[in-house]
Structure 1
Amino acid sequence: MTMIDRRDFLRLAAAGGGAAFLSGLNLPAHAHAGDGDFYFVQLSDTHWGFSGAPNPEASHTLHEAVKAVNALTTQPDFIVFTGDLTHTTDDPAERRRRMAAFRDIAAGLKVKTVHFMPGEHDASLDNGAAFQEFFGPTHYTFDHKGVHFITLDNVSDPGARIGAEQLAWLEKDLAGRDKAAPIVVLTHRPLFDLAPKWDWATRDGEQALALLMPFTNVTVFYGHIHQEHHHQTGHIAHHAAKSLIFPLPAPGSQEKRTPLPWDPAAPYKGLGFREIEAEPKKASYEVTEFPVVRT
């Protein structure tokens, strides 16, 4: 396999709850890792089961992404998939076939600690029932080397809501936590109103952000919009990941969110995944974007 080059390296250094974005850094990942430091990989929007334009190689793209992650010189501590594992279908049996196929392909990753969460394509037609059969709860928490991870489900409700029950669960989880402790939120849709007419919003996302706002070191990683995007809600930084099926236009740049056309001269253009190096003691993150390449 051809070794992939690092590109679009960003330093996301949280300082007093804020985030500074410095482009053009050329440090190798993990160069300054300390005892408590770690890194993980985020993949998103694989849409297994999609076929046709604008990705004539849809049946190969996820396989290529797995190869690319397996080829990383240093393997991550864990991997997260931030939703839309499969492409939507009205057929419950086909939905489960796609989830089984996705699960089997993802099992080819060298790293065996993998956290899954649903996208609306996986969960909105059956309130996450099939997803839970294959991958477990749609929302949960885990801790890794001093960082508290919260996985929120803003897709199982077809109305694009987190819902009162899950918000109460989030409030209970946050109660009593150190306000300066590093928290990473993983979700599919953006929690803020990025482009509501394109379904790029969560209807009660502001309630979740209000619960998170008292904590000074919160970072959100999400998917759904099929492109890299960075946003601040007060001191909370939000970072969207590229898709592994097709790119979408910039938020609000045109009337409809139609996928960008396939470029035969540059297959997989606009597709990719990212690695995120965490320094828990500083509540800082270094994000490196990787392209998917044909092998």
Structure 2
Amino acid sequence: MDRREFLRLGAVGGGAVFISGLYGPALAAAGGEDFYFVQLSDSHWGYKGPANPDAQNTLKQAVERVNALPAPPEFIVFTGDLTHTTDDPAERRRRMAEFKEIVAGLKVKEIHFLPGEHDASLDKGAAYQEFFGPTHYSFDHKGVHFIAIDNVSDPGARIGEAQLAWLKADLATQAQDARIVVITHRPLFDLAPQWDWATRDGAQAIALLMPYANVTVFYGHIHQENHHMSGHIAHHAAKSLIFPLPAPASQEKRTPLPWDDAAPARGLGFREVEAQARTGFQITELPVVKG
């Protein structure tokens, strides 16, 4: 069974497969190759509470699930909230060390990490950087330019002038038809600002990205699948690995959805993203527990 057939069958089984804003002809013209990666998000390692009584096992189940995929991804992106927030700096580092030890079991050559506000907002990313390196960076993979944006280390939910200047300079190295993927934690657009589901200067980042024809954004934070367009820029939110949250602004508070003993993994999951040289991005949503 080849990759495309596997993805098609995965969609029949309940995942969503569709084409994103990365246009295949441009990728093919640049000599790009097919590849696929996995997005994981919001494991909140260290969480204890009724929203997930099995919190000690969910991340480990996700690792097992990814390792059991028919073909290993070329890399994994983890879009923030690796650990659950704590006021104790020593406990924060202990959780990060435990998280890093668990995900070291992933059978993949590369993992690209991003902080979430639970990891970074209380110390401006100091502990995160000790364990995982820079909070923003870029890299290239088979004709696609990936940009990691940090919109969480600033406790005011801003990217900040310095990082926006860095983003502008990084984009200046790319052609107008470059294939660009942005990975970040919070949404760059105003999804539900009253729930902290926004980035205060996200519009400035989108404005910098707008001149580029082929941009796709993958983010976390909202603990559910969500799809949004800013002009031609596609934004895709990932499910969580700890507990789902309600639909944007559907109630007064963003309290986690109740735990269901009959379906403990309901609303939890991760995604595969295949960059295809001829057709663009295919996205497949997968549950944490196969079944």
Q: Would you say same fold, with TM above 0.5?
A: yes
Q: How does 1:53-202 map to 2 (within 5 A)?
A: 53-202=50-199
Aligned residue pairs total 276
Calculate the TM-score normalised by the size of structure 1: 0.90
Question: In the alignment, which residue of structure 2 is the partner of 1:237?
Answer: 234
Question: In the alignment, which residue of structure 2 is the partner of 1:289?
Answer: 285
For residues 282 and 207 of structure 1, what CA distance do their matches in structure 2 show? 31
Unaligned runs of 5+ in 1: 18-33
Change (3 A) 1:277 1:16: closer
Unaligned runs of 5+ in 2: 1-9, 25-30
* Superposition RMSD in Å: 2.0
Shift of 1:8: 2.3
For residues 6 and 173 of structure 1, what CA distance do their matches in structure 2 show? 40
Cα offsets for 1:137-167 (capped at 9, x unmatched): 0000000000000000000000000000000
Question: In the alignment, which residue of structure 1 is the partner of 2:5?
Answer: none
Cα offsets for 1:220-242 (capped at 9, x unmatched): 00000000000000000000000
Cα offsets for 1:171-225 (capped at 9, x unmatched): 0001142111100000000000000000000000000000000000000000000
Are the aligned partners of 1:150 and 1:184 in contact in 2 as well (CA < 8 Å)? yes
For residues 224 and 140 of structure 1, what CA distance do their matches in structure 2 show? 19
For residues 108 and 136 of structure 2, what CA distance do their matches in structure 1 show? 22
The yes-or-no answer on 1:42 pairing with 2:39 is: yes
For residues 32 and 158 of structure 2, what CA distance do their matches in structure 1 show? 39
Higher helix share: 2
For residues 32 and 176 of structure 2, what CA distance do their matches in structure 1 show? 23
For residues 177 and 205 of structure 2, what CA distance do their matches in structure 1 show? 18
The yes-or-no answer on 1:51 pairing with 2:58 is: no
Question: In the alignment, which residue of structure 2 is the partner of 1:11?
Answer: 18
For residues 136 and 15 of structure 1, what CA distance do their matches in structure 2 show? 28
Calculate the TM-score normalised by the size of structure 2: 0.91
Higher strand share: 1
Change (3 A) 1:129 1:5: farther
Match for residue 255 of structure 1 among 244, 252, 255: 252
